[in-house]
């Protein structure tokens, strides 16, 4: 399985999978079917041909076996840290450390997948790259439809509702007074969907440009892997070192402040709800890690 960009196929999919797991009644069910989901997700982008399908499935299987064997116990430790923080009350610095740890593990996962992403990039045909461009264009149209509809107030409301969907999964229902405070913290985040769309398009163009370069120059696996790794690093470093770093920093800080606000507002019953959900994930990760299939 192969091809890369600012977040890469693997990264984008795994972030999506983790979000799906949050909503799933059984993390084990979602994870155990993750290889199939990832295969169909990639196929939806590039329309895999008959020659690619078998080894792409094999690569996905290897990735999940590695992930199950080496990463899940680390996730347990992260969740246990979150449980302790929820008990005593985290600071924004605690949440920043947690977020940085997650980013570090995400980048490590993407680097692990780079050689397989290189194989896929080297195998892509012109019509598959065209299909990839069409899929990106479709995704961007969907982003505009959902996130950029109406005026600033409408966009703020949509963003707030998305956040509340996640908070309610973790903490249960909120009172109207709590919701009012959460909405205020949500709206305090910088709002500029044009920037996010532009960043998406920038990453997508980098993916397509690399795919075309690999195809045109018949790049070796080593050279392609190195190019993919550079795209991965750029995707993370851009948040800190680009001309938009001030916006990204402000948005990240405001997001962490939003999470902190919810935790501080949460009642003992709501915190117990979150603790129970985290413990369920911990138990599921332990079971999954023990199942070295």
Cα–Cα distance measured from residue 247 to residue 240, given in angstroms and rounded to the nearest whole number: 10
- According to the model, what pLDDT value does residue 1 have? 36
Q: Tens digits of per-residue pLDDT, 103-139?
A: 888 888 889 999 999 999 999 999 999 999 999 999 9
The conformational region for residue 266 under phi > 0 = left, psi -120 to 50 = alpha, else beta, is beta
Q: Is the pLDDT of residue 4 over 70?
A: no
Residue 10: pLDDT band with limits 50, 70, 90: very low
Cα–Cα distance measured from residue 132 to residue 92, given in angstroms and rounded to the nearest whole number: 39
Contact status, residue 139 vs residue 41, Cβ threshold 8 Å: no
Mean pLDDT of the chain, nearest integer: 89
- According to the model, what pLDDT value does residue 190 have? 97
Tell me what percent of the residues of the chain surpass a pLDDT of 70. 91
Name which of 205, 283, 203 is nearest 236 in CA terms: 203
Top-confidence residue, 163 or 6:
163
Cα–Cα distance measured from residue 128 to residue 118, given in angstroms and rounded to the nearest whole number: 15
Tokens in use for 125? 């045909």
Cα–Cα distance measured from residue 282 to residue 75, given in angstroms and rounded to the nearest whole number: 8
pTM beyond cutoff 0.75: yes
Domain ranges of the chain: 8-290
Cα–Cα distance measured from residue 21 to residue 14, given in angstroms and rounded to the nearest whole number: 10
Residue 24: pLDDT band with limits 50, 70, 90: low
Q: How far is CA 272 from CA 17, 87, 165, 178, 265, in A?
A: 25, 9, 18, 17, 13
- According to the model, what pLDDT value does residue 102 have? 86
Q: Is the pLDDT of residue 3 over 70?
A: no
Q: Is the pLDDT of residue 201 over 90?
A: yes
């Amino acid at each position: 399985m192969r091809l890369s960009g600012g977040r890469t196929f693997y990264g984008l999919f795994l972030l999506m999978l983790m979000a799906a797991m949050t909503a799933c009644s059984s993390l084990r069910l979602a994870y155990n079917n993750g290889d199939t989901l990832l295969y169909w997700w990639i196929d939806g982008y590039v329309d895999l041909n008959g020659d690619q399908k078998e080894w792409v499935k094999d690569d996905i299987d290897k990735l999940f076996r590695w992930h199950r064997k080496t990463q899940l116990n680390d996730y347990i430790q992260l969740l246990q840290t979150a449980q302790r923080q929820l008990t005593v009350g985290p600071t924004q610095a605690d949440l920043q450390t947690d977020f940085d740890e997650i980013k570090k593990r995400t980048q490590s996962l993407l680097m692990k997948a780079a050689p397989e992403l290189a194989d896929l990039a080297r195998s892509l045909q012109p019509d598959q790259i065209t299909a990839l461009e069409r899929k990106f264009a479709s995704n961007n149209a969907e982003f505009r439809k959902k996130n950029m509809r109406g005026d600033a107030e409408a966009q703020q409301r949509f963003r707030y509702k998305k956040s509340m969907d996640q908070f309610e999964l973790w903490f249960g229902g909120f009172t109207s007074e709590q919701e009012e405070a959460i909405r205020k913290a949500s709206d305090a985040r910088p709002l500029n969907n044009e920037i996010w769309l532009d960043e998406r398009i920038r990453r997508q163009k980098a993916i397509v440009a690399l795919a075309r370069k690999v195809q045109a120059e018949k790049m070796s696996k080593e050279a392609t892997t190195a190019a993919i790794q550079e795209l991965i690093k750029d995707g993370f470093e851009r948040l800190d070192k680009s001309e938009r770093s001030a916006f990204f920093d402000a948005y990240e800080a405001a997001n962490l402040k939003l999470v902190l606000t919810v935790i501080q507002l949460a009642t003992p019953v709501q915190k117990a709800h979150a603790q129970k959900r985290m413990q369920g994930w911990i138990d599921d990760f332990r079971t999954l890690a023990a199942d070295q299939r």
